[in-house]
Amino acid sequence: MKLFDVYPLYNVTPEKGEGVYVYDEKGQKYLDLYGGHAVISIGHAHPTYVERITEQVNKLGFYSNAIQNPLQVELAEKLGRLSNCEEYNLFLCNSGAEANENALKLASFHTNKKRVIAFKNAFHGRTSAAVAATDNGAINAPINNQHSVTTFLPFNQLHSLDYELAFGDVCAVIIEPIQGVGGLDEPTTEFLQGVQQLCKKYNVVLILDEIQSGYGRSGKFFAFQHHDIEPDIITVAKGMGNGFPIGGVLIHPRFEAKYGMLGTTFGGNHLACAAALAVLEVIENEKLIDNVNEISAYFIEKAKKIKSLQKLKGRGLMLGMEFEQNVSEIRKELIYEKKIFTGGSSNKNLLRILPPLTIGKHHIDTFLNSLSDVLKNQNL
Ligand SMILES: Cc1ncc(COP(=O)(O)O)c(C=O)c1O
C-alpha cells in the first residue's frame, strides 16, 4: 500500500528531537523555528514529558470515557488555574478541528440556530462544521456546503457584524485572536470588545479559536487575554500535548451539559492527559510565558534591522516576517543550507516563526544571522 499523497514534502526525515533541535537519520541537526506547526510548546523530548508519558503507558494507556479518569479532573483543574479560566468546564477531544467542531455544535445546541459568522482568511480545521467556517473554498467539499451555513466578514467592521447578527439566525461567531494559516493578522481590541458586546446583545455564542495562539504562545496564556474579553467558548489543541494528539473545549458555566450531548472514544485518554499535564507542569515550573515575552522582544528588536523586511506581524513566539516577494526560496535555503525549519502561510510572502517556547536568545541570533546570509545570497 502507498500513502495517499496529499502533502508536498520537504526532503528531510527527522528521527530524533531534543529541546529546540531535531536530528535527521544521518544525525544532521536542525534548529526548529517551526515547532512542527506551532505544536511543540515545551521542546522536543522534554525529560518531564518523557517521564510522565512513560510512567503512564506502563500503568494504563487508555480506557473509555465510561469510567472514572482522575487525570482528566487534574488536567481541568491545572489548566483552569494556569490559564486563569477556572470557572470554565472542559471537554476533551483529539485535535483542533474536533475542538472547533464540538464548540460549533454546542453553540448550535445552545441557541437552536445554525448560521456561523467567521472571518476572511480564517482557518478552523477540516471537519464538517470547522471546515465550513474556514475561508478556503478549495478544502470545502460539496458535502460541507459552506455558503449556506457560514458568512465570512472582514476584521474590524462592527457594523457588518451588527447587520448579520440582526437577522437572528446566527448561533456562533468564531474568531482566531491571531490568524495562523491566514498569515498572522489580528483583530483590534476595540473590535474584539465590540464583537463580545454584539454577541451578548443578540444572544450569539462567541468562540475564540486558541488552537494555535493558546498555551502561552502569544505571551499570555490565551491571546484573547491581551484584549480584556471573556469568550463563551475557547478551543485549544496544538501546544496542549506538545505533539501528543489532544484538544480541548473550555466552556463557560452558562452552558448546561447533558449526558450524551458530546462524546468521543479517544478524547481525554490517560496517555493524552499525562502528556497534557506534563506540558502544563513545564510551562509553570520553567516560567515559559515569561520566556516567550523576553525572547519575543529580543527577536523583534533584532529583526527590525533587516532592511528587506516589510512587516513583522503577530505576538510572542507566533510571529510572521513579511517580505516583498514569495518566501519559498528563502525557506528552502534556510532548511537545506542553514538547517533551520521555518513555516509558511497562505500569504506567500510571509515567513512564519513558531519555535518551542523554550527557545533562547542565542538560537534567535543563529537564525537571524543565517537569514541575513540567505537574503544576501538571494540579492534581497
Ligand atoms: C487556528 C486553528 N484552528 C484549527 C486548526 C485545526 O487543528 P487540527 O489540525 O489539529 O485539526 C488549526 C491548525 O492549523 C489552526 O491553526
Percent of the chain whose pLDDT exceeds 70: 100
Q: How many Å apart are CA 230 and CA 192, to the nearest integer?
A: 10
Q: Which atom of ligand 1 is nearest to the CA of 238?
A: 10
Do 20 and 366 meet the contact criterion of CB atoms below 8 Å apart?
no
The sign of the CA dihedral 147, 148, 149, 154 is positive
Query: Ligand 1 centre from 149 Cα, in Å?
Result: 20
Question: Residue 148 pLDDT more than 90?
Answer: no
223 three-state secondary structure: helix
Q: Is 47 exposed, middle or buried (0-12, 13-18, 19+ CB in 10 A)?
A: exposed
Ligand 1 in reach of 133 Cβ (< 6 A): no
Percent of the chain whose pLDDT exceeds 90: 97
Q: Is residue 191 part of a domain?
A: yes
Predicted confidence (pLDDT) per residue in 48-67, tens digit? 999 999 999 999 999 999 99
Q: How far is CA 176 from CA 12, 65, 120, 140, 325, in A?
A: 31, 30, 11, 19, 26
pLDDT for res 234: 99
Ligand 1 in reach of 242 Cβ (< 6 A): no
The sign of the CA dihedral 183, 123, 188, 161 is positive
Ligand 1 in reach of 364 Cβ (< 6 A): no
Written as nine digits, the cell of 281 is 507542569
Q: Is residue 335 part of a domain?
A: no
Residue 69's region, left for phi above 0, alpha for psi from -120 to 50, else beta, is beta
Ligand 1 in reach of 211 Cβ (< 6 A): yes
Do 275 and 53 meet the contact criterion of CB atoms below 8 Å apart?
yes
Q: How far is CA 19 from CA 30, 32, 46, 49, 76, in A?
A: 11, 9, 7, 12, 26
Query: Ligand 1 centre from 97 Cα, in Å?
Result: 6
Average pLDDT, the chain: 97
Q: Is residue 139 part of a domain?
A: yes
Q: How many Å apart are CA 9 and CA 222, to the nearest integer?
A: 31
Query: Ligand 1 centre from 79 Cα, in Å?
Result: 20
Predicted confidence (pLDDT) per residue in 360-375, tens digit? 999 999 999 999 999 9
Under the banding of pLDDT at 50, 70 and 90, the label for residue 303 is very high
Q: Is 143 exposed, middle or buried (0-12, 13-18, 19+ CB in 10 A)?
A: exposed
Q: Is residue 30 part of a domain?
A: no
Q: Tell me the CATH number at 202.
A: 3.40.640.10
Query: Ligand 1 centre from 235 Cα, in Å?
Result: 10
Do 158 and 195 meet the contact criterion of CB atoms below 8 Å apart?
yes
Predicted confidence (pLDDT) per residue in 78-133, tens digit? 999 999 999 999 999 999 999 999 999 999 999 999 999 999 999 999 999 999 99
Ligand 1 in reach of 124 Cβ (< 6 A): yes
Q: Is residue 94 part of a domain?
A: yes
Q: How many Å apart are CA 103 and CA 236, to the nearest integer?
A: 11
Strand order in the sheet with 311-315: 311-315, 318-322, 350-353
Q: How far is CA 308 from CA 91, 170, 295, in A?
A: 45, 44, 22
Bridge partners of residue 326, in order along the sequence:
none
Question: Residue 147 pLDDT more than 80?
Answer: no
Q: Is residue 23 part of a domain?
A: no
Mutate to test the pocket of ligand 1, among 238, 246, 352 (most ligand atoms within 8 A of CB): 238
pLDDT for res 379: 85
The count of domains in the chain is: 1
Under the banding of pLDDT at 50, 70 and 90, the label for residue 138 is very high
Q: Is residue 318 part of a domain?
A: no
Do 255 and 278 meet the contact criterion of CB atoms below 8 Å apart?
no
Written as nine digits, the cell of 148 is 449556506
Ligand 1 in reach of 213 Cβ (< 6 A): no
Q: Show the beta-strand stretches assigned E in 211-283.
A: 233-236, 247-251
Q: How far is CA 319 from CA 142, 190, 224, 294, in A?
A: 34, 22, 16, 14
pLDDT for res 206: 98
Query: Ligand 1 centre from 36 Cα, in Å?
Result: 12
Ligand 1 in reach of 209 Cβ (< 6 A): yes
Query: In this structure, which residue's CA is closest to atom 4 in ligand 1?
Result: 124
Question: Residue 380 pLDDT more than 90?
Answer: no
**Domain of residue 144, residue span:** 47-254+262-285
Q: Is residue 268 part of a domain?
A: yes
Cα angle 256, 78, 243 (rounded to 5 degrees) comes to: 100
Q: How far is CA 361 from CA 20, 36, 247, 339, in A?
A: 12, 20, 30, 18
